[in-house]
Structure 1
Amino acid sequence: MQSLVCDQPGRLELVTRPRPEDRPGHIRLKIEAIGICGTDYHIYKGQQPFLSYPRIMGHELAARAMQDSSDGRIKGGDLVAVNPYITCGECRACTTGKPNCCENIGVLGVHRDGGMCEEIVIPEANAYAAPGLQPRAAAMVEFLAIGAHGVHRAGIGSGSTALVVGAGPIGLGAALFAQIAGASVTVRDTSSERLDLARAILPDATCETVDAAGGGAFDAVFDATGNIKAMNAGLRFVAHGGAYVLLSVVKGDLLFADPEFHKRETTLFASRNALKADFEHVMDCMARGLVPIDAFGTHSTTLEAAVTDLPKWAEDRNTVVKALIHV
């Protein structure tokens, strides 16, 4: 089968590899669309720690079932969205309903080969039926579920105010699902190009540059910058009694003044990956027309053309929200 391989930082190659073997409890899927994530760009540029090359990237996946699942939940030919977090099922997190932070997690396309290829075989439990969706929409479910998970952790609802710092795909997803939850949303970024994209996706949100922002206090602040300085600075925007949700994960130390943290009685959340309920929430919102799929999907390519397109987009992140590979 055709597979797009990053065999070392800075080099992609389309190669022929054997089709994966069947395994008990697994389901064979034909890949139809792949969202390119920031993680994929980092892998290509050699910036992803704890990763071995060569690697087939791709964890934002829409696929067609090539067989029935053993429990009858999925029929051959069904479109599915893939949950790429392969978990152990045995650690404390897994056994207490938090598999998104499994102690032994293996993410498709990162810790093991992913979906930038023609077929994959994954655990049946990681395939979610996506009735009524098109492949390009199903390929966006995973990254949107990350934002939806952060919003759920913050517990915001109608009448809440929310600030999202960082207008990349994850931040825009969080902003969208904060709006769906009923919050009034402000999005801030240092890039005017990113903010223009944010306005197209979130016409009801306030979008402003970080430098021009005067401050304000919000019931929930979401950091999606991937910048430790921004993460340390975001506390000052949290209202008294509010929540600070870190969608970003970077190397570095969180440092902010305890008096500022304490006087607000701040609730501090890390938000990692997403749960099945988040995937289902995203797909339900898509089916109800609440997700501007066309506005999110700014770029597209084929598996063959991705050899040249992905490196180009890796250097032009300010004008790309979500690029999709169609197989």
Structure 2
Amino acid sequence: MLTVTCESPGRLVASDRPCPTRQPGEVLLRVKRVGVCGTDLHIFTGHQPYLDYPRVMGHELSGIVEEADAGSGLRAGDAVYVMPYLSCGDCIACRQGKTNCCTRIQVLGVHRDGAFTEYVSVPKRFVGKAGGITLDQAAMVEFLAIGAHAVSRGDVAAGQRVLVVGAGPIGLGVMLFAKLRGAIVTAIDGRADRLDFAREHVGVASTVALGEGDEAELSRLTNGEFFDAVFDATGNPQAMERGFRFIAHGGRYVLVSIVQGDIRFSDPEFHKREATLLSSRNATTEDFETVMTAMRDGLVPDAALATHHLTLAEVPAGFPRLLDPAEGVIKAIVEC
């Protein structure tokens, strides 16, 4: 089977590998679509923490069942999506239903080889039927579920002011699900094209260009009170530290990003607000279901989100251009 491996930063190699052998309790899938994530771009550029090379990337996937155990509820030919966070099921987090932060988590395409290939075999409990949505949509459920999970963590309610810092795919997912909860959403980013996308396709209330005067504009938009919930989706330590300044008194700050190193903030400023600081990692089954429901109801602008398509065979040569801001990539979909 055709497989594309990131042998080292900047080097993608196509090769022929044996098809995996399905083990009891697993589902053998023919991979059909794979979304390209910021994680994949970071792996390619050598900036992804907690990763060893070589690695087959790809964790946003949909496919068709080839083989499954009798009684599994899945049959050959079923269209499915995959939850790529392979949790252990018995650690302290899993026992609380927080499988997204399992202490022994294995993420496809990061901790173990992923879906830039033609077949994968994964445990049944991480495979769900993609009824009522397309294969393209099913490959986008995962990154949108990260946004839905962050909004849930931030306990966003109707009428609240929400600021999303970073208008990449994850940030757009946060905006979308905050808006679906009835929040008044503002986006801030340094790229005008992404702010345009947030206005046109997500329908955010306001956008602010990063740069001189941006803090004053955020203050003006909120009558000097700033935001009930602030979400950072930048992966930039300086932006993450700066975001503390935009929390309203009594507000919440959700760090969707992860970086290596320490994040610092002013304790007096944080304390006088009685602010709440939250991390948001991956997503849960409930978040996947939230996204699926929104897709079936036509509330996700998935056609606009999927800005680029390429085949698996085209990945080694075509992948680098996905890093070019001039390409205007929101979500690239690899077709297998």
TM range (shorter): over 0.9
Does the CA contact (< 8 Å) of 2:24 and 2:69 recur in 1?
A: no
Q: How does 1:272-283 map to 2 (within 5 A)?
A: 272-283=281-292
Asked if residue 243 in structure 1 is aligned to residue 246 in structure 2, the reply is no
- The CA deviation string for residues 258-294 of structure 1, in whole angstroms up to 9 with x for no partner, is 1111111111110000000000100110000000001
1:306 aligns with 2:309: no
Q: Could you tell me which amino acid in structure 1 is paired with residue 185 of structure 2?
A: V
CA–CA distance in structure 2, aligned partners of residues 71 and 101 of structure 1:
29
Distance 2:203 2:26 in 1: 42
Partner of 1:294: 303
**Counterparts of 2:169 and 2:43, CA distance in 1:** 17
Unmatched segments (≥5 aa) in structure 1 = none
Q: 1:22 to 1:112 in 2, by over 3 A?
A: same
Q: Are the aligned partners of 2:26 and 2:68 in contact in 1 as well (CA < 8 Å)?
A: no
- Name the residue aligned to 2:90: 90
Aligned to 1:81: 81
Opposite residue 305 of structure 1, the aligned amino acid is E
2:112 corresponds to: 112
User: In structure 2, do the counterparts of structure 1 residues 69 and 41 end up closer, same or farther at CA, with 3 Å as the change threshold?
Assistant: same
Equivalenced residue count is 327
Task: Find the counterpart in structure 2 of residue 12 from structure 1.
Answer: 12
Q: Could you tell me which of 198, 209, 215 is aligned with 2:218?
A: 215
Q: CA deviation at 1:317?
A: 7.6
1:221–1:238 contact (8 Å) kept in structure 2: yes
**Any idea what SS the aligned residue of 2:313 has?**
coil
Report SS of the residue matched to 1:252: coil
Q: CA deviation at 1:315?
A: 3.3
Rounded Cα–Cα distance in structure 1 between residues aligned with 2:49 and 2:154: 29
Moved more, 239-248 or 40-49: 40-49
Measured after TM superposition, the shift of residue 188 of structure 1 is 0.4
- The alpha-carbon distance between structure 1 residues 70 and 177, as it changes in their structure 2 partners (threshold 3 A), is farther
Matched residue, 1:260: 269
Question: Which residue does 2:161 correspond to in 1?
Answer: 161
Q: Match of 1:32, as an amino acid?
A: K
Q: Percentage identity across aligned positions?
A: 49
Q: Does the CA-based 8 Å contact 1:153-1:269 persist in structure 2?
A: yes
- Which moves more between the two structures, 26-35 or 49-58? 49-58
The whole-number CA distance in structure 2 between the counterparts of 1:200 and 1:320 is 16
Which of the residues 294, 317, 335 maps onto 1:326? 335
Residue pair 1:25, 1:70 contacting (<8 A) in 2 also: no
Native 8 Å contact 1:241 1:267 kept in 2: yes
1:234 equivalenced with 2:243 (yes/no) = yes
- Report the Cα offset of residue 30 of structure 1: 0.9
- The residue type paired with residue 295 of structure 1 is A
Which residue pairs with 1:315 in the alignment? 324
Q: Return the alpha-carbon distance in structure 1 between the equivalents of residues 181 and 70 of structure 2.
A: 36
Amino acid in structure 2 at the alignment position of 1:274? A
| 3-state SS of 2:67 partner | coil
Instruction: Give the Å deviation of 1:77.
Output: 1.4
Separation in structure 2 between the aligned mates of residue 140 and residue 13 of structure 1, nearest angstrom: 25
TM-score between the two structures when normalised by the length of structure 1: 0.96
2:139 paired residue number: 139
Give the CA deviation at 1:27: 0.6
Q: Displacement of 1:70 after TM fit?
A: 4.6
Q: Is the 8 A contact 1:81 1:139 kept in 2?
A: yes
Structure 1 residues 205 and 74: CA distance shift in structure 2, 3 A: farther
Counterparts of 1:71 and 1:59, CA distance in 2: 26
Deviation by residue 1:72-103 (Cα, 9 ceiling, x = unmatched): 43332121111001111221111111110011
**What residue in structure 2 maps to residue 65 of structure 1?**
65
Which segment is superposed worse, 8-17 or 200-209? 200-209
TM-score, normalised with respect to structure 2: 0.94
Q: Is the 8 A contact 1:200 1:295 kept in 2?
A: no
Q: For the residues of structure 1 that align with 2:274 and 2:31, how far apart are their CA atoms?
A: 46
Letter in 1 for 2:263: L
Where does structure 2 lack aligned partners over 5 or more consecutive residues? 220-225
- 3-state SS of the aligned residue for 2:270? helix
CA contact (8 A) 2:187 2:208 kept: yes
* Partner Cα distance (2:86, 2:202) in 1: 32
